[in-house]
A and B are shown apart, each in its own frame.
Chain A
């Protein structure tokens, strides 16, 4: 029996090398697990298209997006950002995913989903002194209505007809902030070929060598320049713009986005330039 604490007293360089290799292997396994869970199947919509992408700042990250198919061809979209980065944030991201999947089954709208997630996560997040910001939305591709609720997350951007703006403001306390929360819902009616970009703050807060931030203005300009492209290309354009901006500087925060584009395979019954808000 060996009573030595191998972690604290590696007896030679070989031991240390072995331990580093083990650690690397385990982190890579964790990364693969997270990558599989995060890259959930993108739902096929009856009309239009949606995609999502997450680029962790470290080997694994704390950002999260997911899709949950609902009845009548609708889909529930969620994007979240766990406080912190790296392995601790990744562990809480898995917890968040479980809470979303469970809540999505039993709740009728995004507001209720956030309430159920907060109820499920509140005690754990408080005891771990962490929190998660989450934006949740139900997309109905037939009626072209996006219904949404917010738990402290940046508001998604709407893009259409050479105009970019934030979705109507809807507030709510981040998950883990306060117990027994209810979350207000709003909805907007979208038109053919309009886009919604859900994103995490790692995009707008990405910094270059001079310490300047990418900012929401640069994100809006990138979207405007790429209007008309499919969601995959819009996503790539945003990623390229962020990494061109930060240059040689190390990526500080996870970068995640979900891009939704409204289809055009039905008669367009309205001609609004902006989303119609029903609140």
Chain B
């Protein structure tokens, strides 16, 4: 079961994802979340309540991040669980999307 909440605070919009991110979220991602972030300056995608992301979920996340970057919207992905981070590392997602998208890597380097 997937749900999300979008919170705006000034220039920052935070999307709190909750549940599993798989093919079931395709429509929500493309028809609700992406259009909902059209006119913002800064986006945080918060994964604190995400338990599982499959390859389709990763693809949808990549598409969302790449779309936001094309619109010159600053985007970060935060609060990833260790398990999901491991999968992202295997797929080299930080190399593809840019390490600046994942603040966890700058924390590790500090």
Contacts and interface: CB of A to CB of B under 8 A. Distances in A.
Q: Do A and B bind each other?
A: yes
Interface of A: 81, 83-85, 129-131, 133, 152, 154, 171-174, 177-178, 201, 205, 213, 252-253
A84 B23 contact: yes
Contact of A201 (B23, B54, B63, B96): B54
B95 A131 contact: no
B91 A213 contact: no
Interface in B53-85: 54-56, 58-59, 62-63, 66
Contacts of B22: 252-253
Given A84-B23, A85-B23, A133 B55 contact: yes
Residue among A83, A133, A178 facing the most chain B CB atoms (10 A cut-off): A83
A177 B92 contact: yes
A85 B59 contact: no
B52 A205 contact: yes
B95 A129 contact: no
B90 interface: yes
Give the interface SS of chain B, mostly helix, strand, loop or mixed. helix
Nearest to A131: B59
Nearest to A89: B56
A173 B96 contact: yes
Nearest to A84: B56
B90 A178 contact: no
Given A84-B23, A173-B96, A253-B22, 9 more contacts: A83-B58, A83-B59, A84-B56, A130-B59, A133-B91, A171-B92, A177-B91, A178-B96, A201-B55
B90 A83 contact: no
B59 A84 contact: yes
Given A171-B92, A178-B96, A252-B22, A213 B55 contact: no
Nearest to A129: B63
A177 B97 CA distance: 9
A81 B55 contact: yes
A245 to B, nearest CB: 16
A171 B58 contact: no
Contacts of B56: 83-85
A201 B55 CA distance: 9
Interface string B1-33: 000000000000000000000110000000000
A85 B22 CA distance: 10
Nearest to B93: A177
A152 B59 contact: no
B82 to A, nearest CB: 15
A19 B49 CA distance: 43
A171 B92 CA distance: 8
Interface in B85-103: 90-92, 95-96
B55 A171 contact: no
Contact of B59 (A129, A172, A253): A129
B97 to A, nearest CB: 9
25 contacts: A81-B55, A83-B56, A83-B58, A84-B23, A84-B59, A85-B23, A129-B59, A129-B62, A129-B63, A131-B59, A133-B55, A152-B90, A154-B90, A172-B92, A173-B91, A173-B92, A173-B96, A177-B91, A177-B92, A177-B96, A201-B54, A205-B54, A213-B52, A252-B23, A253-B54
